[in-house]
Structure 1
Amino acid sequence: MKAGLKIAGLELRHNVFLAPMAGVTDLPFRLICKELGSDLLYTEMINAKALCYEDEKTRSMIKIEKQEHPVALQIFGHEPEFIAEAASILNDHDNEILDINMGCPAPKVVKNGDGSALMKNPELAGRIMEAAVKASRKPVTVKIRSGWDEHNINAVEMARIAQNCGISAIAVHARTKEQYYSGSADWSVIKAVKDAVSIPVIGNGDVKSAQDALSMLEKTGCDAVMIGRGAQGNPWIFNEVYRYLEYNEQVREPSPVQKIETVIRHLELAVQIKGMHTGVVEMRKHIGWYLKGMKGSAKIKNEINTLYRFEEIKGRLLSYMDELNVLLDT
């Protein structure tokens, strides 16, 4: 199955993308995923109103490095005027695509009327998308969920509204807001959306391997696959999926040594970009994901959670690598 996709005028080489994840898809992680095979990268979701008010932290979150391209910068909000202003601001930014989040289920987001709360208000969602398309000189895409709950599955309705508003592509996380991240994704919703619109449809939900990606593409007819939690601690999944789809190749799972080397590389980037304290603290969850399932990893993770300097953590990881090599040799 040949990869590749066109979104508006943007030609993409692959159809395997990194999903936007709050607190996860920051610049250091995106750089790692790009190095390991992801094509289109999505940023963490950015508060449109905070961007308009020139919030310093928000401004730091939209930084894009040249080696990342192409990048979809995701914004969220429920006020069309702020979405439009944010789109205008980002016309002169480095991202190739502007994406609107209408799927985040986090309570603190939903209670403000943002994210997946918009699944309950298609009329407002339409006005937001229309405002963004009018203000943006770049392709505008949107990410939605199946619906609010099992009794309100309206992804097809939202997709049709999106297409009518001039949205260039739509990503569907095949879970409801009420499911959060539990249960199984219902890929039939992705298929229903694909059958209902002519714009590209990106499938999301429960893709944890190359076989999962192929299965989603075949069962739903979607144009691309977006990987979120399946990439946590496993950024190699992008190359694995691409090689399988493009060449029918089975890529060997990374060795413990490769994993630890990548952890150190990721940690180094985090400290360089965010400073020692923030970089180390924010890396703890990533380290836990990378080491999950490795022999003795629980003890190592607990030890690392007490350390605050790059060299200390690097040293402990290297000694853990030596311990693993001894175990493998015995």
Structure 2
Amino acid sequence: MLRGWIANKGNTSAERARDMVKIENIELGEFPLLLAPMEDVSDPPFRALCKKQGADMMYTEFISVEGLIRDATKSLQKLDIYDEERPIGVQIFGAELDSMMRAAEIVEAANPEVLDINYGCPVQKVVCKMAGAGILRDVKKMVELTQAVVKSTNLPVTVKTRLGWDHNTIFIEEVAERLQDIGIKALSIHARTRVQMYKGESDWSWISKVKNNPRIHIPIFGNGDIDTPQKAVEYRERYAVDGIMIGRASIGYPWIFREIKHYMATGELLPPPDIHERVDAVRQHLQHSIDWKGAKLGVVEMRRHYTNYFRGFPGIKEFRSQLVTEENPAILFEILDRMEDVYSAIEVSELV
């Protein structure tokens, strides 16, 4: 079935043009893969790796509007954008009308392609302030905040949200229409409720209902549980979304983007990255982290990533112990060299 779909796909330039997914005038390709905004993950060092592996659009870590308007160093640093990352969206979260409007002006000055609003973060410290997924209990306020942001910036405004607060309050079809009507240019939907957090299966049937609504004309991106190329193709065909946003499956595995694209184009699975490619990616990630954050902070904040890059490798606990305790960058790179030597003698199939 997949090969037949690939073979029958329109080949003329006109057909390709009609199939092009756009956020306003930003062309993202026929079926874009988006890197989800993830706190402490989707920073410039990680985004650079995902871009190399085929991500079509990325988002920053989500940024507190209160931090932005108060010139908080950590919040302002998240506005750092590199040309090779484009197109990119800056994602903000907040609950106060004036703060959202002022933050929109600050974001516009950073010159991203898109301003995205987070109405999906489920963590309690965000929700308790009626920000993130907290606002799912007040659709009227969500619409008011969004409309204020749209009017406060010349950037295309997009939204990322969840199905609803719980299974009794799934209003995503209404939300999609109302947000489109006030001017958002794309909608990304995580197919879980806030109560679910990240547990249980996501329910993409709700995303399909939004996408198949004849009133909806903006791009609809699906998010949740896409962790293999096969599932990406299955969900594309079953739910007819315009693109897929990938979050947790990319952590420590930026190759997920190239693997999905290769499978969509050929129907064949790529082999997993070997130890040389994995170690090289970690070297790049570490060096970029040091360059961007400084040696001390760059080394410390890289520690959360090592396990993800080498998950399942035999004997990794010993190497991980060294990586998360060493403070000297030069020695860290030496440890990575030793890892490459040790694991290069083992078949990839035995490693993962």
**Shorter-chain TM band:** over 0.9
Aligned-partner residue type, residue 242 of structure 2: D
2:292 and 2:241 map into 1 onto residues whose CA distance is 35
Which residue of 2 is the match for residue 110 of structure 1? 127
Indicate the larger mover: 57-66 or 148-157.
148-157
Match of 2:254 among 230, 235, 259: 235
Against the structure 1 CA distance between its residues 327 and 92, is the aligned structure 2 distance closer, same or farther, given a 3 Å change threshold? closer
List gaps (5 residues or longer) in structure 1: none
Tell me, what secondary structure is at the counterpart of 2:192?
strand
Structure 2, unpaired ranges of 5+: 1-5, 10-18
Of the three residues 276, 294, 298, the one matched with 2:313 is 294
1:327 Cα offset (Å): 4.1
AA paired with 2:229? A
Give the length in aligned residue pairs: 330
CA distance in 1 between partners of 2:266 and 2:165 (Å)? 38
Q: Does 1:323 align with 2:339?
A: no
The answer on 1:253 being equivalent to 2:272 is: yes
Residue identity (%): 36
Question: In the alignment, is residue 82 of structure 1 matched against residue 72 of structure 2?
Answer: no
Q: CA–CA distance in 2 between the matches of 1:191 and 1:184?
A: 16
Amino acid of the structure 1 residue aligned with 2:289: A
Q: Is the 8 A contact 1:119 1:158 kept in 2?
A: no
Report the residue type matching 2:21 in the other structure.
L
Q: What CA distance in whole angstroms lies between the structure 2 residues aligned with 1:54 and 1:317?
A: 37
Q: 1:70 — aligned with what?
A: 87
Cα distance between partner residues in 2 of 1:281 and 1:203? 33
Match of 1:9 among 17, 20, 25: 25
Contact kept in structure 1, 2:62 and 2:93, CA below 8 Å? yes
Change (3 A) 1:317 1:157: same
How far 1:108 sits from its partner (Å)?
0.6
Q: Structure 1 residue 35: deviation in Å?
A: 1.4
Match of 1:54 in 2: 71
Deviation for aligned residue 1:250: 2.8
Residue of 223, 226, 239 corresponding to 1:207? 226
Aligned mates of 1:308, 1:4 — CA distance in 2: 47
Report the CA distance between 1:49 and its aligned residue: 2.1
RMSD: 1.7
Q: Which SS does the other structure have where 1:180 is aligned?
A: coil
TM-score under structure 2 length normalisation: 0.90
Deviation at 1:90, TM superposition (A): 2.3
Structure 2 partner of 1:29? 46
**Cα offset for 1:247?**
4.1
Deviations 1:55-102 (A, max 9, x none): 222111110011110001100001122111211222232200000000
